[in-house]
Structure 1
Amino acid sequence: MPVSNHDLFLVVGGTGKTGRQVVTRLRERDARVRVASRSGEQRFDWTDDRTWRPALQGVGGAYIVAPDEVTSVPAFLALAADLGVERLVLLSARGVDVPGYYGDAYLGVEGHVRNEDALRSTGVGWTILRPGWFAQNFSEGFFHAPILGGELRLAAGDGAAAFVDTGDIADVAVAALTEDGHAGEVYELSGPRALTVSEALAEIERVSGHTARYVAVPPDLFVRELAGQGWSRADAELWAAALAPVRTGRETVIADGVRRALGREATDFVEFARAAATAWRSESRP
């Protein structure tokens, strides 16, 4: 039976890009939702297992987002299963099952694989979401401030990506939490077409009137530039490595997860840009 709207849903990472949209969609269905994060309605800390049980108590289904560096996800998943959670939906990442997808420098793959394996071993209804690069990075994430400044410098070369709308990720997550037919599924998620960064910026200009140019930066220089802005070298190298699939063209592959999960096509980048157009207009600038 599907988990019903009368059950309590937990969203771990409920203030993030995908989590807050999952929260909104569940509440639009009149579902009861517990938002868990360090700053959310329910205090939750991956490094403090004393916060886990209160977050999980009485929960029927959970959507789980964890930072790459967190190693405690398997223990949390085991506790969730012990406490009777019936549905677990885990946000993973595209390409974690493909050797060399991110090159040798990206250290997050091992954690994603470990989390996925732990989820499968819980014995409850599980679903794994593997999205590619978020379209929302342009409107509210890492790319946003440079775009407002007129120049986006990335170690993405001339590569392209099928940027996925986080609203699609949330729709798939909610379907997996509330409907039958998604248990045991791994959904690879992307947009319906691949765009270069320059093409994405051109779409943004068309809908918002704001112009920004893309500058392809060699990875080593990209790391040095981020370090010069105050980033730790480890974080800068992580970003450069995360962009490797865009540089190498691996993110151009169109995934079918949205269609399989929802029975519709994924949201096109231009639809995302129209909805987010105010993010790049003058009144939105600091």
Structure 2
Amino acid sequence: MRYASAHGSRVHYEVDGTGPGLALVHGIGGDADKVFAHVTDHFSGSRTVVRPNFSGSGGTTDDGGPLSIELISEQVTAAVRAAVDGPVDVLGFSLGAVAAAAVAARHPDLVRRLVLVAGWSHTAGPRNRFYFQTWRRLLHTDRELLKRFTALTGYSAAVLDHFGHDGLAHFLSDPWPPEGIARQIDLGLDVDIRPLLPTIQVPTLIVGFGRDAMVPVEESRRLHEAIARSELAEIPDQGHMDWFVRPEPLLRLVDGFLD
């Protein structure tokens, strides 16, 4: 296990492969393995793949206080600087996309190209706040209901049917969510990176999912409008987490952009 230090925290990260650097940043309730283990081999044949765990995930430890975008973006930065030399490409998913955007804005020397998958710019609007408030309330009242809500909003209907009755029963039996998710959900309620977005100068690919009920595709469109050197791609038939099951459409977009 590898560790770096950032703002008093001990940041756990994984490294695979050799070649130009690529950092993969997970989202709420995920970690370096749960979110990216199924695609790491795809990238590590030609790249050094760095997978940091920000606070609340993996083996990363801190003082247990409230999280901030500044903190988790500096944790990602510290892990990347410890793992590889020179600028890297950065791909962030969901809250990881928020953190990745902050890294690109605050450390332009570190980021060569940026990929934001199912990200968003702020949680000030009624719908976004309502979603995260519901998630937080379910966490503190009934964890099985939280899992059901997460499945129903995280996956498209087609993927849920693909899982079948047995697959959904297995999903409910998983020990997820981790204890650290509470602080991450609270951070999700506090997101506002709108002032940072116009300062991002690196080439950026923004990917939204047309059937995303967690982070609606309109959020990706707003990121595209705010980041000058960005291009927008939409995968119309996928939900927020469908790429965990069928990553090929996303990988084609990312490969085309990075290569």
TM-score bracket, shorter-length normalisation:
0.3 to 0.5
Scaled by the length of structure 2, what TM-score is found?
0.39
Compare CA radii of gyration and give the structure with the larger one.
1
Q: Higher helix share goes to which structure?
A: 2
